[in-house]
Structure 1
Amino acid sequence: DVEPKFVSPSDPAAQWTGALRGPAFLAYADNYLIDLKAAVIVDVEASRAVRQAEVGAARTMLERTAERFDLKPERLAADSAYGSAEMLHWLVDEQKIEPHVPVINKSERHDGTFSRSDFTYDPETDTYTCPEGKTLTTSGRIVNEGTNRLYLGSTFDCGPCPLKERCCPNTPARRITRSIYEHAREVARSLRGTPAFERSRQGRKRIEMLFAHLIRILKMGRLRLRGPCGAQDEFLLAATAQNLRKLAKLITPSEPQMTQGT
């Protein structure tokens, strides 16, 4: 869990955030689950204004929608905040939902040394091969709080290697970690750039339009009620108003054409 920097005495569940790139303030996050085709809000969930809580809210809304309406999407479109290995594993392996989500990648190095992408993975032997052709193996050891498997090179190979300064200048041998959910990450990467992914990326603009309407038209820049329940009530009422507005546009007949008689 993320420790808040400041806590409000009157609303301790509110999150201190600077997400809008301006002065920080205490807030709740409004999370929408929408049907991209119709731009209808299917579910809404209030959460702390922090990425981990917002990702958890997405899972809550998907599970609740499946239970309440027996609706399960074929694909989920979201930004990179939802591209963690754990979330992708939940979508791909547990929910069988296509993740049209950019993958969070923290393995790239920017100090001139080789990144993990410079090594070749062999799924049959579960090993990596370095740019010099040497093998990195794993004992199955899990690190980083149980989320990554560790692969190690041999000191006999790495020590005299001519590429050592570009690979592991500060350690005797090269170490690489691989997510235990790498299969789900590879599925997400394979979808990126496909026509369906691009359509989903364009469709995400609809949710941004809903949030813009929420702030500018419905004037939801500030909550009147306190606490998570108060935030949930206000967000739910606002989403209902937005859906009713869309429904009214769909069922209201267009004005009849006026014709001039002679």
Structure 2
Amino acid sequence: MMGRREGEQGQFFYSFHLDKVVPPDHLVRQIDGLLDLDWVHKELAPYYSHTGRPSIDPVLMIRMLLIGYIFAIRSERRICAEIQVNLAYRWFCKLGVEDRIPDHSVFCRARNERFRESDALRRIFEGVVAMCIGAGLVGGEAFSIDASLIKADVNKTKRIPGDQPFSWPKAEEASHAVREYLVALDAARGQEDHGGDDGSGEGGRRRKPPKEVSLTDPQATWVARPGLDPFLAYDANYLIDNKAGVIIDAAGSRANRAVEIAVTQTMVERVERRFDLRPRTLAGDTAYGAVRLLKWLVDRNIAPHVPVWDKSARPDGTFSRADFVFDQGRNIYVCPGGAELTSTGNIDQGHIVYYRASKNDCSRCSLKPKCTTATVRKITRDLNEDVRDRVRALANTEAFEQSRRERKKVEMRFAHMKRILRLDRFRLRGLSGVRDEVLLTATAQNLRRLAKLLCRVPPSRATICPA
């Protein structure tokens, strides 16, 4: 016989305990056993007034943000709505069934002021990395570096050419992203006046204005590549340990190759300073093969397992620099025809040396049609070419091949970021917002990985991962 529920008067009293309805193997329970936020109140106390109405608990806001990034909830408004109805999320945030959920608007001020001023999000990220190190998931011997383009939260039609003058609104009338851009612009001009070289705020020398500037988020970079529809973007930079794919440092930055190199140096130094870890090898793609970074790594006894950035090959089939033999003792190049190319003594950009053949040698050489269409053949050589040669030699080793295979782990982290955590487009604007999102996403990925590797539930019974 078919059963049917009859409309009955609800109970007057309920016996309900939130802790009992969250399954022992739920991800929030596993992560809660790993997460340590006891330091937050003490560290953030100087950033709150000692008078007035009590604020929303910063630990509550951090836990709510982590819920959003761990479970790919891409809106703070939506985070509040999900925690309102999801008992597991309420339990993780230490909220009772009848507790009121904070309004989504409270996150803006906390993020723009207190969290950034105290660098709380980086502290949380580094705390999780420290747990990964303590759990033996970080080898500290081999690292990999990579950057991934993430679209900025802008309408790309609202832009102007970078060399076009534009009257930006006053600070009090501008958005947070525009104000941040204007402050960075003023700082860059001040550095140029005092002999500085930073137009990007992160170590990248800007020799010409950007091609396009967004009116919504001016710090976003216009990216135009063959086969792709141009868009405005930022970079998410990850430095990972190859042992278990743990992200040991993360940073959001402008999408620029020079900036990527500067960020790499910053992250390697920060990991050494914070965790006393210096890798023996660093793997990366060709974007990290600039001689400036290679020399920086070699000077620190870090083997660069990176393809050398070399554009000396010629597409027209004429002799490239590799066809010439360099005599280190005599500081000359010898061409395929046996003629010598001597240094002109000119140094370009502080590190490029020119070598030139004599007019007589080139005019009577039978190989000239295969060498150059100019009067004489010239070759450039970097002052640190010996470093490039050492790195090229590493490419033939088994260790290099191993690093190349393990470097896929950093690409997997980016694939997880975009496909599972849905960070294929930034939600926050401005470079500070991008840095916050990259740190929160990396923290979420490390927490998920830590829970997966340390809190596996036996098939026979469910157990709670210890704190």
Does TM, scored on the shorter chain, surpass 0.5?
yes
For the structure 1 residues 238 and 21, does the alpha-carbon distance in structure 2 shift closer, same or farther, using more than 3 Å as the test? farther
For residues 125 and 163 of structure 1, what CA distance do their matches in structure 2 show? 24
Counterparts of residues 20-59 of structure 1 (less than 5 Å): 21-59=227-265
- Residue 99 of structure 1 pairs with residue 321 of structure 2: no
For residues 142 and 234 of structure 1, what CA distance do their matches in structure 2 show? 42
- Residue 237 of structure 1 pairs with residue 443 of structure 2: no
For residues 218 and 167 of structure 1, what CA distance do their matches in structure 2 show? 53
Q: How does the TM-score come out when normalised to structure 2?
A: 0.53
For residues 253 and 227 of structure 2, what CA distance do their matches in structure 1 show? 19
Within the candidate set 189, 198, 222, 2:425 is matched to 222
The offset of 1:50, in angstroms, is 2.1
Q: What is aligned with 2:322?
A: 117
The percentage of counterpart residues that share the same residue type is 50
The offset of 1:110, in angstroms, is 2.0
Within the candidate set 16, 21, 33, 2:222 is matched to 16
Counterparts of residues 82-161 of structure 1 (less than 5 Å): 82-92=288-298, 94-143=299-348, 145-161=349-365
Counterparts of residues 66-85 of structure 1 (less than 5 Å): 66-85=272-291
Q: Secondary structure at the match of 2:213?
A: coil
For residues 19 and 62 of structure 1, what CA distance do their matches in structure 2 show? 29
The offset of 1:72, in angstroms, is 1.0
For residues 227 and 424 of structure 2, what CA distance do their matches in structure 1 show? 15
For residues 444 and 260 of structure 2, what CA distance do their matches in structure 1 show? 22
For the structure 1 residues 48 and 243, does the alpha-carbon distance in structure 2 shift closer, same or farther, using more than 3 Å as the test? same
After superposition, give the CA deviation of every residue in 1:189-213 in whole Å (9 maximum; x if it has no partner): 0000311001110111111110011
Q: How does the TM-score come out when normalised to structure 1?
A: 0.92
Amino acid across the alignment from 1:147? H
Q: Secondary structure at the match of 2:214?
A: coil
For residues 8 and 235 of structure 1, what CA distance do their matches in structure 2 show? 21
For residues 85 and 31 of structure 1, what CA distance do their matches in structure 2 show? 20
The offset of 1:22, in angstroms, is 3.0
The offset of 1:25, in angstroms, is 1.8
For residues 254 and 123 of structure 1, what CA distance do their matches in structure 2 show? 62
The offset of 1:123, in angstroms, is 1.0
Amino acid across the alignment from 2:251? E
After superposition, give the CA deviation of every residue in 1:228-256 in whole Å (9 maximum; x if it has no partner): 11110111011001000111012214424
After superposition, give the CA deviation of every residue in 1:12-52 in whole Å (9 maximum; x if it has no partner): 11111246953222221000000011200000111111222
Aligned length: 255
Q: Secondary structure at the match of 1:43?
A: strand
For residues 202 and 20 of structure 1, what CA distance do their matches in structure 2 show? 27
For residues 229 and 20 of structure 1, what CA distance do their matches in structure 2 show? 29
Amino acid across the alignment from 1:65? V
The offset of 1:118, in angstroms, is 1.0
Counterparts of residues 157-236 of structure 1 (less than 5 Å): 157-171=361-375, 173-236=376-439
Q: Secondary structure at the match of 2:422?
A: coil
For residues 139 and 4 of structure 1, what CA distance do their matches in structure 2 show? 34
Amino acid across the alignment from 1:169? T
What is the root-mean-square deviation of aligned Cα atoms in Å?
1.7
For residues 68 and 222 of structure 1, what CA distance do their matches in structure 2 show? 30
After superposition, give the CA deviation of every residue in 1:166-194 in whole Å (9 maximum; x if it has no partner): 223322x2211111110111111000031
Which range moves more in the overlay, 209-218 or 20-29?
A: 20-29
Amino acid across the alignment from 2:426? L
For residues 149 and 49 of structure 1, what CA distance do their matches in structure 2 show? 29
For the structure 1 residues 256 and 168, does the alpha-carbon distance in structure 2 shift closer, same or farther, using more than 3 Å as the test? closer
Q: What is aligned with 1:63?
A: 269
The offset of 1:257, in angstroms, is 4.6
After superposition, give the CA deviation of every residue in 1:124-160 in whole Å (9 maximum; x if it has no partner): 11111111111111143212x2221111111121221
Q: Which one has the largest radius of gyration?
A: 2
Amino acid across the alignment from 1:23? D
For residues 216 and 66 of structure 1, what CA distance do their matches in structure 2 show? 31
Amino acid across the alignment from 2:316? D
Amino acid across the alignment from 2:309? I
- Residue 249 of structure 1 pairs with residue 452 of structure 2: yes
The offset of 1:115, in angstroms, is 1.1
